[in-house]
C-alpha cells in the first residue's frame, strides 16, 4: 500500500528532475514560465508540461527576435538608384506580432507603398522590414508608423503609405470584440498624405483581388 502510494507520487517528480537543472532550462525565461504554470494552479511536473517552459522560452525568443535586428542595415543593404517615379506597392505581407498589453498574438496583413525620388529598395527587404518591427511586443498603431518612418528615413521617397489590417487574439478570445473583427491602421507620409489621388490609387491597389483575412 505504502509502496504503491509512493510509486504514484514519485514517478512524475523523477521524470521532471532531469529538466529542473538550469542547464536544461536554458535561458532566463523558462524558470519564470514554470512559476506561471504553478501560479495558475497547474502542476509543472506533469508529463504534458515538463518541456513547456523551454518551449515557451524558445517561442518567445523567436517571436521577439526583431529587437536584435538592425532595420537600417536591412534597408541600406539593398538601395539602388533607379529612374522610376511611379508607385511601388508590396501588398498582403503577412504580419505576426504580440500585443504588448497581453502578450497574445495579433496577426494580419500589411500593405506598403512608396513613390521613389532617387532610390528604390530591393522588394524583398520590405517584408523583412515589416518582420523586424513585428517580431517585438507591439501595438498595431506603432508598428504601422515605424514601418512608414523607417522607409521614409532610408530612401527619402516622395511619399510612403502603410496600411495594416489585423485581428487581435486579446480582443477576440476575451470576447471584447465580435469574432472576425479586423482593426485597420494607416500611416501616410508625403505625397500619400497631401494628395488625395495618390492615396486613393494606393487604397484601390490594395483592395484589388484582396482576399481579406477570413
Catalytic residues: 99-102, 140, 168, 170
Q: Per CB under 5 A, does 142 bind Zn ion?
A: no
Binding residue (CB under 5 A) for Zn ion from 19, 29, 79, 170: 170
Residue list 143-162, contact with Zn ion (CB under 5 A): none
Q: Per CB under 5 A, does 174 bind Zn ion?
A: no
Stretch that binds Zn ion, among 58-66, 93-101, 112-120, 150-158 (CB under 5 A): 93-101
Stretch that binds Zn ion, among 60-68, 73-81, 149-157, 164-172 (CB under 5 A): 164-172
Complex with Zn ion: residue 72 or 101, whichever CB lies closer: 101
Binding residue (CB under 5 A) for Zn ion from 99, 134, 150, 162: 99
CB of 109 to Zn ion, least distance (A): 19
What are the backbone angles phi and psi of residue 45, rounded to the nearest 5°? -95, -5
CB of 119 to Zn ion, least distance (A): 37
Q: Please, are residues 167 and 180 in contact by the beta-carbon 8 Å criterion?
A: yes
Q: Per CB under 5 A, does 102 bind Zn ion?
A: yes
CB of 52 to Zn ion, least distance (A): 22
CB of 202 to Zn ion, least distance (A): 28
Chain residues binding Zn ion by CB under 5 A are 99, 101-102, 170
Amino acid at each position: 500500500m505504502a509502496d504503491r502510494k509512493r510509486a504514484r507520487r514519485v514517478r512524475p517528480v523523477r521524470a521532471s528532475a532531469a529538466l529542473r537543472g538550469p542547464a536544461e532550462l536554458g535561458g532566463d525565461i523558462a524558470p519564470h514560465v514554470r512559476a506561471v504554470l504553478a501560479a495558475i494552479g497547474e502542476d509543472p511536473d506533469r508529463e504534458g508540461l515538463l518541456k513547456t517552459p523551454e518551449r515557451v522560452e524558445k517561442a518567445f525568443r523567436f517571436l521577439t527576435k526583431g529587437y536584435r535586428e538592425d532595420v537600417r542595415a536591412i534597408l541600406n543593404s539593398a538601395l539602388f538608384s533607379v529612374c522610376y517615379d511611379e508607385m511601388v506597392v508590396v501588398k498582403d505581407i503577412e504580419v505576426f506580432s504580440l500585443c504588448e498589453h497581453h502578450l497574445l498574438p495579433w496577426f494580419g496583413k500589411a500593405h506598403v507603398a512608396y513613390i521613389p525620388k532617387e532610390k528604390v529598395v530591393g522588394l524583398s527587404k520590405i517584408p523583412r522590414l515589416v518582420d523586424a518591427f513585428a517580431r517585438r511586443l507591439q501595438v498595431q498603431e506603432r508598428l504601422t508608423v515605424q514601418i512608414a518612418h523607417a522607409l521614409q528615413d532610408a530612401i527619402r521617397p516622395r511619399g510612403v503609405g502603410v496600411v495594416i489590417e489585423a485581428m487581435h487574439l486579446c480582443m477576440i478570445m476575451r470576447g471584447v470584440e465580435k469574432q472576425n473583427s479586423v482593426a485597420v491602421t494607416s500611416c501616410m507620409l508625403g505625397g500619400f498624405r497631401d494628395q488625395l489621388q495618390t492615396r486613393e490609387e494606393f487604397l484601390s491597389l490594395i483592395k484589388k483581388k484582396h482576399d481579406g483575412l477570413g
